[in-house]
Structure 1
Amino acid sequence: MSSHLRHLCFIGPEERLPKQLQNSLLRELPDLVVHIEDDWRSLVRSASSKGIHPTTILIDAGYGAANITEFRQIEEMYSNANLCLTLNGDCNSTHHIRECLKAGVIHNILPMNLRLDLWLFAVQILLHGGSYMPPELFELLEVHRNPPMTTAGQTVGGHTSNGACANGTHVVDALTPRENEVLALIAQGLQNKNIAAALRLSEHTIKLHIHHIISKMGVSNRTEAAAAFIQHGEAADNHTR
């Protein structure tokens, strides 16, 4: 099988990744191959026989939080793959999510009922090694991740409950490496098309990165995010002097 292809593997019932989503993915990403397996052992057998190295592995939430041990085995076996839990319902049922976050085996969550263009952008982010988490689940991140991703709305007197400044500077270190790259270029005054060219990504992917950056930092727009990034850098420089 050609080494330049990217492989997205889905663990769960086939109807949880409908044909229309698969077809939309393949139209958007012609170098992508989609594999669907009922369980991870089937994935291992199929991948081994076909010489597949998964780029991203989507795991249906219905697969169960009781399988955290298996999630760990998947993570160990495919250490270079980006693992993501997929939700087919709303985000109100958080048992599986809490268990997976607490165990540290899942760092990405993808609702399958997103608007199609946003869903496609989110998958592209995952395929590029980035992370995706819907903003409404950030509260869970605050409980189970360190440092907490506190939003600006949770401030008192210009400071968060843990004493961090409310301008987004305290979460710059919590951004993914790719998000930091995008934010650094925003801070240099580059527009989306120039950032996309510099990082060899599509403008749509850059827009999704910016959406995540703004949501994570709890700021209102890219200008505030850039200001927080600059302030964070200045604080770091002062600390090292």
Structure 2
Amino acid sequence: MNTLNKEGLSGVSRAAPRRRSDACICFVGPREIFSDVIVRTLESEVPDIPVVRVDYLEEIPQRRDENARFANGDRICALIVEEGNAAGLKAFIAARGEALSLSRMRFAIAYSEDRPDSEAMDFLRSGALLNQVSFLPMNINITTWMLTLRIILSGGHVVPPALLETGLTVSKAASRKLAEPGLDLEPTPDVMDTLTRREREVLQLLASGQQNKNIADRLQVSEHTAKIHTHRIINKLGVSNRTAAAVWYHRHEARASHL
């Protein structure tokens, strides 16, 4: 149905599961959207956090005295719903906000076409809950998808620039939220100016999920040169790793599109 569901898993070695506290990642939607391939790939990439899939939000058992937990005690750390459940997600958050400890949870709406359906786009139009809900495209390659999901899981807020370039009228409140920088990854305007033209090209490719070998092939340089560029970019941005650099880039682009 989409690029993700067509990817195979040959050659993927699974690490021994390691439990991290009692957290879990929950997908809400049909198997056609969140396929077994997606679930197994995520389990391989993040072996210490269990992955749960349900068809409907109503299937998630609730414990109002603490956090949302499943019968085995797993607390949801990320709730990712298919776009058809967008309206339900808004009601779900509104009805159980305090019990779900929103500051500790990540929310995302997954969509398969170039833009989400009308209910999902209401989050952008109104600005309601926009700073809490990311948008996760499902029609991209598995590497880029995993990078995007990792950004969300690490606390980043993702709204693909393409969603803001469709002539959509976004409320002033929503525009302000999209332009707000993160607490510790604020894109400083002067920093981008310190990057060379080549470093900017490398950063753009890195932020799209490309590994050093792919970056080297695209720019026709050696893999060693690509690694050096990546190292310099990380140092100049003042971040700790590639994922943080990707978060920085996407937030910089979001700010730039609203200037």
Q: Same fold (TM over 0.5)?
A: yes
Taking a change above 3 Å as real, the CA distance of residues 67 and 29 of structure 1, as seen in their structure-2 partners, is closer
Describe how 1:160-175 pairs up with structure 2 within 5 A. Answer: 174-175=180-181
1: CA distance, partners of 2:172 / 2:145: 24
Match for residue 30 of structure 1?
47
Taking a change above 3 Å as real, the CA distance of residues 146 and 64 of structure 1, as seen in their structure-2 partners, is closer
Report how far residue 99 of structure 1 moved. Answer: 2.1
Report how far residue 192 of structure 1 moved. Answer: 4.0
Match for residue 97 of structure 1?
120
Report how far residue 129 of structure 1 moved. Answer: 1.2
Matched-pair contact (CA < 8 Å) for 1:135–1:216? yes
Matched-pair contact (CA < 8 Å) for 1:85–1:108? yes
2: CA distance, partners of 1:61 / 1:100: 11
Report how far residue 125 of structure 1 moved. Answer: 0.9
- Matching residue within 111, 117, 140 for 2:137: 111
Report how far residue 186 of structure 1 moved. Answer: 5.0
Q: Which amino acid aligns with 2:250?
A: H
1: CA distance, partners of 2:232 / 2:22: 30
Does 2:99 match 1:77? yes
Does 2:110 match 1:86? yes
1: CA distance, partners of 2:152 / 2:163: 17
Describe how 1:181-196 pairs up with structure 2 within 5 A. Answer: 183=188, 191-194=232-235
2: CA distance, partners of 1:145 / 1:6: 35
Paired residue secondary structure (1:10) = strand
- Matching residue within 152, 155, 162 for 1:136: 162
Would you say how many aligned residue pairs link Structure 1 and Structure 2?
193
2: CA distance, partners of 1:5 / 1:48: 10
Q: 4+ runs of 1 displaced by more than 3 Å?
A: 1-6, 74-77, 139-142, 182-196
Matched-pair contact (CA < 8 Å) for 1:85–1:110? yes
Report the identity percentage: 18
Match for residue 248 of structure 2?
210
- Matching residue within 148, 158, 162 for 2:175: 148
Taking a change above 3 Å as real, the CA distance of residues 115 and 3 of structure 1, as seen in their structure-2 partners, is closer
1: CA distance, partners of 2:136 / 2:22: 22
Taking a change above 3 Å as real, the CA distance of residues 29 and 193 of structure 1, as seen in their structure-2 partners, is farther
With normalisation by structure 2, the TM-score equals: 0.61
2: CA distance, partners of 1:195 / 1:26: 33
Does 2:59 match 1:42? yes
Report how far residue 133 of structure 1 moved. Answer: 0.8
Does 2:35 match 1:18? yes
Does 2:77 match 1:55? yes
Report how far residue 130 of structure 1 moved. Answer: 1.2
Matched-pair contact (CA < 8 Å) for 1:11–1:38? yes
2: CA distance, partners of 1:179 / 1:60: 28
For the aligned residues, what is the CA RMSD? 3.5
Report how far residue 4 of structure 1 moved. Answer: 3.3
**Residues 38-59 of structure 1: CA deviation (Å, up to 9, x unaligned):** 2223222582422222111101
Q: Return 5+ residue gaps in structure 2 as ranges.
A: 1-17, 63-67, 196-230
Match for residue 231 of structure 1?
none
